[in-house]
Amino acid sequence: MNGAQALIRTLTRGGVEVCFSNPGTSEMHFVAALDAVPQMRGVLCLFEGVATGAADGYGRMAGRPAAVLLHLGPGLANGLANLHNARRARTPLLAVVGDHATYHKRYDAPLESDIDALAGSVSGWVRRSARSADVAADAAEGVAAALTPPGQVATLILPADVSWSDGAEPAAPLPVRAAPGVPGATVRSVSRTLRSGEPCVLLLGGAAARRPGLEAASRVAQGTGARLLCETFPARLERGAGIPAVDRLAYLGEFAAGQLSGARHLILAGARAPVSFFAYPGQPSSLVPEGCEVHVLAEPGDDVCGALAALADEAAPDAKPLLREAERPEVPDSGDLTGAAAAAVIGALLPEGAIVSDEANTSGVWLPGATAGAPPHDWLTLTGGSIGLGLPLATSAAVACPGRPVLALEADGSAMYTPSALWTQAREGLDVTTVIFSNRSYAILNMELDRVGAEPAGAAARNLLELARPGLDFVALATGMGVPAGRARTPGELAVQLRQALAEPGPHLIEAMVPPLG
Amino acid sequence: MNGAQALIRTLTRGGVEVCFSNPGTSEMHFVAALDAVPQMRGVLCLFEGVATGAADGYGRMAGRPAAVLLHLGPGLANGLANLHNARRARTPLLAVVGDHATYHKRYDAPLESDIDALAGSVSGWVRRSARSADVAADAAEGVAAALTPPGQVATLILPADVSWSDGAEPAAPLPVRAAPGVPGATVRSVSRTLRSGEPCVLLLGGAAARRPGLEAASRVAQGTGARLLCETFPARLERGAGIPAVDRLAYLGEFAAGQLSGARHLILAGARAPVSFFAYPGQPSSLVPEGCEVHVLAEPGDDVCGALAALADEAAPDAKPLLREAERPEVPDSGDLTGAAAAAVIGALLPEGAIVSDEANTSGVWLPGATAGAPPHDWLTLTGGSIGLGLPLATSAAVACPGRPVLALEADGSAMYTPSALWTQAREGLDVTTVIFSNRSYAILNMELDRVGAEPAGAAARNLLELARPGLDFVALATGMGVPAGRARTPGELAVQLRQALAEPGPHLIEAMVPPLG
């Protein structure tokens, strides 16, 4: 069989069963081979940033990689920002980048570019298959690389002639290295610190943001008095009633400083030592308080949950986790549709088992509080800070978890990066409800302009920060891509439309008309 | 003054007066500084691919660079595909990429990534400003680098603290090296070849596709019998009544082979030796016919038009250029709205001085013929093959040439890469008329699937090549971004709507419902 056929069969044997695709001519043999391997589901995306963001969301929810099929260097370039987010999320993901035939590259045809340089900037593993006889083994290695704890982007560069030439055979999956356990000495050392009587903060990240990690961490906190925090942008945070609640470290350094204030020891479990998202004149880059010692219980690639469980047994053997009580806000029965009111509506109606893709940015500051006691759900965030991830993440969460409702909570500015994710939702009939927080502004930049100490914005500066003139009509945009949509101007309208969207199968969009900052 | 202020003043002194922008926090001092320098026009784009594609179109039409302001590595990544197209167009363009403060980079904050690797893949010049005192000199050098013949992408990486720190002063523009003249011996050698009596083809590219180059080349052809061709995807081709007509080398190798058939000598004037766009099994990569000798009259960075004029004087001193006669098709008064009929309508109505951004792909094969005798106009093409350029190019052509009508002829699949260019057209009130060739298919891939020798497409393969289910409603999409739009189902409807769009100021969109291949 040809290289493309062997590649796809190797992927499905390795548990890679979805390929988010935006192919071109050099990928046509891969496309043609899909019909021979029905175990592989090809999902068409109209832009590569949708495809890569979708592969990220799939990996976060399925715990195994999706493939993403990209067309040469420019296709990879279009998908690169969301691969950056996937790299920061440590998502297992296999990017397959078609390339010109090996013998064609030296002719520098128009689409020729430095694929390797781009791939290297986001991938933990890069391989260029040289022959059709190699591609299956390369693919098996790529899948194993993607799954190597804590997970990473692996990129396989697939020349067209490697794809179309015969002489290939599928390869069996390779074993995946397990996450290394944390030495007992480390656990005992951290335990001693926790029991020293000095103020401790336990900062959770990666796998620790899932239920087993949260329960172990909560036992530690209950037994030792340590404060719990979660990294600012977790890839996947399990939360809601019956799960230990943990606040995320704030995006704004001033607020993060308050959360960490007084800590004498900062213990990292799958998280990195906190740093400011941006630099600000006169502000420190590190968020670790002066005089606070940093201890690493577990690196992101370690067995973080095992380490937390061992730590709980050591430091707090009799403690029980503190589980969040069920609690929901009421739907506000009057007043404006502020960000706070919209959050209350969402908190009131969030269904059990929901997957929330949160790219609501400034409009979303009330969401964590309003949903903290809702039925158990997963919360996916913008790990790498590159906006345009929310709609693709939601799309693929629904592909990975067909029985679960998915909610995309999306800022208007960010939505315009990858809007065609809505089309893929419509085509695939996915149960995704998108709420656009339409404040007609890059609100976060209005805030940041002040925080970086720039002079007050004049007309020319304001012109680059606001999205009015003309206003974006997301109802028209969604409808134009086959997604039924409505506009909500009051909390009551939002509640009615959200109930209906959640009750009906398939995708829906609600444009929530919220004020710029509040 | 701070680095940002000195940078912007240096740019405007150097003739850079438009900045297509999608800024973030690290660029806020640049944004704030715009109010102090009214000579710089900031144009907001909702996605970086729009901003970079727009900077490409501006550079092609203005002959001097626009700046494009991008947010860190992910912002550059989102704009990279259209910088690839700009690189292939040899467009003078200055990318300003904000970065974290110099001292913040080692903290590996979420948005940290390898900007230099990405910039290097598309830029002929890359500089990372180290201090605010350096940034103006760096910027002056970057502008001169962008303008160095034949033109290139120059990238200035601007750390946030370099932007916000004081101690900077504007710098004067640097001299730009002129395009080197071609030695007389080369001209005489090519002239001897042309007069040898053996079949010659003169292949034009770059600056030779403008009127002076075309007139000189036409004199050569008239005087020597050489055939004239233009590179497949010229950055800017002047054409129409009163200008020498030149066919473009065909995209499909089979057709290109026919155009070059029998040539004994291929003379390159600003063009590269032709290669196949993609590799196909059993087909040659080079399109130079067997036994045909290649001669370089002028490299793209040489004084191509001067070389052609000297060649004309040498080889054909008495010849006159053959100017295209005025000729327009009729608007078809019946029949379906095929690609051919749509092209006839456009040929019938194309206004004098129009700028055409052509990304119509398969639907556009009838356009060159139907518009060849229309009033003089410029034709901009997809130089690097990375789709998603057409709408941004049209947007900025209108910014660069406010008195001229702009027509974007756009395939539906390609339009979905950078649709928010329409919003920028609406915001800036630009005279752009977009015709979407809505065939609901990646038609070119259906063709290529067969050409690469893949097996016939089954259902899974076809699923990745067609854009129906759901159909895209471009009227809704345009309206949602503030651009008045209509749908044309017959040639007559297209004519009525096109006349009206061209007569009214501001942007318009017409969705032309054409069949998949024909």
- Put simply, the answer to whether B118 touches A457 (Cβ < 8 Å) is no
Q: Return the H-helix or E-strand segment holding B483.
A: none
Instruction: State chain B's mean pLDDT as an integer.
Output: 96
Task: Say which residues have a Cβ less than 8 Å from residue B290's Cβ, sequence separation at least 6.
Answer: none
- Name the residue facing B481 among A24, A103, A472 (closest C-beta): A472
Give φ, ψ of A99 to 5 degrees.
-135, 170
Q: How many CB atoms lie within 10 A of CB B477?
A: 28
| One domain, residues B289 and B143 | no
Instruction: Say which residues have a Cβ less than 8 Å from residue B518's Cβ, sequence separation at least 6.
Output: B338, B339, B340
In terms of Cα–Cα distance, which of A478, A482, A328 is closest to A408?
A478
Does A172 reside within a domain? Answer: no
pLDDT per position as a tens digit, A455-469: 888 999 989 998 989
> How far does CA B324 lie from the centroid of its chain?
24
**Is position B461 within any domain?**
yes
Would you state the pLDDT for residue B514?
95
Using a 10 angstrom Cβ sphere, with 0-12 exposed, 13-18 middle and 19 or more buried, the burial of residue A492 is: middle
Pair B353, B483 in one domain? yes
3-state secondary structure of B61: helix
Query: Would you say residue B19 lies in a domain?
Result: yes
Locate tokens 């959050």: which residue? A343
Q: Taking CA atoms, what residue in A is nearest to B114?
A: A121
Q: The domain spanning residue A189 has which CATH number?
A: 3.40.50.1220
Q: Which of A29, A276, A449 sits opposite B454 (nearest CB)?
A: A29
Q: Which band of pLDDT confidence, cut at 50, 70 and 90, is reported for residue A454?
A: confident
Q: What single-letter DSSP state applies at residue A471?
A: P
Look up the domain containing B85 and give its range. 3-164
- Cα B154–chain centre separation: 17
Chain A interface test: which of B12, B43, B88, B104 (most A C-beta within 10 Å): B104
Q: A274: which residues sit within 8 A by CB, 6+ positions away?
A: A203, A231, A232, A249, A256, A260, A266, A286, A287, A288
Shared-domain flag, residues A151 and A62:
yes
Residue A120 has its nearest CB partner, among B32, B117, B480, at: B117
Per-residue confidence (pLDDT) for residue A518, from 0 to 100: 45
Which residue, among B85, B424, B463, would best test binding to A if mutated, counting the most A CBs under 10 Å from its CB?
B463
* B76 → chain A, closest CA residue: A81
**Contact B509/B475 with Cβ under 8 angstroms?**
yes
Bridge partners of A96, per DSSP, are: A69, A156
Name the residue in chain B with its Cα closest to that of A49. Answer: B78
Is the domain of A389 the same as that of A467?
Answer: yes
Q: Which of B107, B386, B465 sits opposite A285 (nearest CB)?
A: B107
Both structure tokens of B177: 């090296």
Q: Does B419 map to a domain?
A: yes
DSSP A354-420: -EEEEE-GGGGTTHHHHHTTSSSEEEE--TT--SS-HHHHHHHHHHH-TTS-EEEEEEHHHHTTSTT
Give the tokens for residue B169: 């002063």
Total number of domains in chain B: 3
Q: Is the ipTM of this complex over 0.95?
A: yes
Indicate the pLDDT class of residue A517, thresholds 50, 70 and 90.
low
Same domain, B143 and B199: no
Domain shared by B202 and B250, yes or no? yes
Are A300 and A411 within one domain? no
Return the percentage of chain A with pLDDT > 70, whole number.
Answer: 100
Dihedral over Cα of B346, B350, B356, B357: its sign: negative
CA B265, distance to chain mean position in Å, is 29
Q: What's the pLDDT score for residue B517?
A: 65
B465 near A CB under 8 A:
yes
Size of interface A-B (CB pairs under 8 A): 312
Higher pLDDT, B444 or A225: A225
Other Cβ atoms closer than 10 A to A445 = 24
Residue of A113, A461, A469 with shortest CB distance to B34:
A461
- Contact check, Cβ <8 Å, A73/B121: yes
Distance in Å from the first CA to the final CA of chain B: 60
Could you give the CA distance from residue A180 to residue A397 in angstroms, rounded to a whole number? 28
pLDDT at residue A425, rounded to an integer: 98
pLDDT value at A33 more than 90: yes
Domain boundary among B132, B164, B196: B164
Radius of gyration of chain B (CA): 24
Three-state DSSP at A154 gives: strand
Specify if A343 maps to a domain.
Answer: yes
The whole-angstrom separation of Cα B515 and Cα B362 is 11
Out of A231-235, A305-309, B59-63, B462-466, pick the least confident.
B462-466
* Cβ neighbours of A404 (radius 10 Å): 17
The reply to whether A188 and A158 lie within a common domain is no
**Joined tokens for residue B80:** 């990279």
| pTM recorded for the entire structure | 0.98
B191: alpha, beta or left? (left if phi > 0; alpha if psi -120 to 50) = alpha
Per-residue pLDDT averaged across A385-406, rounded? 98
Contacts of A77 in chain B (CB under 8 A): 77, 80-81, 84, 386
Question: How far is the C-alpha of A401 from the C-alpha of A407, rounded, in Å?
Answer: 13
Pair (A19, A156) in one structural domain: yes
Q: Tell me how far CA of residue A447 lies from CA of A45, A361, A460, B26, B490, in angstroms.
A: 34, 12, 16, 13, 50
Below-50 pLDDT ranges, chain B: 518
Asked whether the beta carbons of residue A31 and residue B275 sit closer than 8 angstroms, the reply is no
CA distance B92 to B228: 27
Is the distance from CB of A80 to CB of B77 less than 8 angstroms?
yes
Q: What is the DSSP letter of B183?
A: P
Chain-chain contact of B460 with A42 (C-beta, under 8 angstroms): yes
Interface touch B416/A47, C-beta < 8 Å:
yes
Is residue A332 included in any domain, yes or no? no
Question: Are A351 and A430 found together in one domain?
Answer: yes
Between B23, B458, B464, which is nearest A23 by CB?
B464
Q: How far is B474 from chain A (nearest CA, A)?
A: 6
Please report, to the nearest 10 degrees, the dihedral formed by the alpha carbons of residues B11, B17, B23, B29 taken in order: 50
Predicted pLDDT of residue B447: 85
Mean pLDDT of A41-50: 98
Residue A391 CA to residue A382 CA, distance in Å, equals 11
Buried b / exposed e over A44-58, threshold 16 CB at 10 Å, is bbbbbbbbbbbbbbb
B81: contact with A, CB 8 A cutoff: yes
CA angle B40, B46, B51 (to 5 degrees): 50
State residue A142's pLDDT score: 98
pLDDT digits 0-9 by tens, B313-322: 999 999 999 9
Q: Residue A396 above 70 pLDDT?
A: yes
Q: Which of B113, B155, B442 should we substitute to test contact with A (largest number of A Cβ atoms within 10 Å)?
A: B113
* DSSP at B418: S
Rg for chain A (alpha carbons), in Å?
Answer: 24
Count of beta carbons in the 10 Å neighbourhood of residue B247:
13
Residue B362 has a pLDDT of 87
Asked if residue A115 and residue A59 are part of one domain, the reply reads yes
The single residue listed with the structure tokens 């999409």 is B477
Please judge whether B34 and A469 are an interchain contact, meaning their C-beta atoms are less than 8 angstroms apart.
no
Contact check, Cβ <8 Å, B445/A25 = yes
pLDDT recorded at residue B518? 45
- Whether chain A has a CB inside 8 Å of the CB on B176: the answer is no
> B391 and B425 share a domain?
yes
Beta strands across the sheet bearing B406-411: B237-239, B377-380, B355-359, B406-411, B432-438, B508-513, B485-488
Is B31 inside a domain boundary? yes
Distance, in Å, from the CA atom of B302 to the CA atom of B178, rounded to the nearest integer, reads 9
**B160 near A CB under 8 A:** yes
The answer to whether residue B330 sits within a structural domain is: no
* Inter-chain touch B32–A74, beta carbons under 8 Å: no
B282 touches chain A (CB under 8 A): no
Domain boundary among A299, A315, A331: A315
What is the pLDDT, as a whole number, of residue B441? Answer: 87
Q: Give the one of A23, A277, A459 whose C-beta lies nearest to B35's C-beta.
A: A459
Q: How confident is the model at residue A383 (pLDDT cuts 50, 70, 90)?
A: very high
The strands making up B41-44's β-sheet, listed across from edge to edge, are B41-44, B18-21, B67-71, B93-99, B153-159, B125-128
Q: For the purposes of burial, counting CB atoms within 10 Å of the CB of B417, is it exposed (0-12), middle (13-18) or buried (19 or more)?
A: buried
> What are the tens digits of pLDDT across the range A93-145?
999 999 999 999 999 999 999 999 999 999 999 999 999 999 999 999 999 99
Our CA angle for A114, A119, A122, nearest 5°, is: 140
The CATH number covering residue A453 comes to: 3.40.50.970
Would you state the pLDDT for residue A13?
98
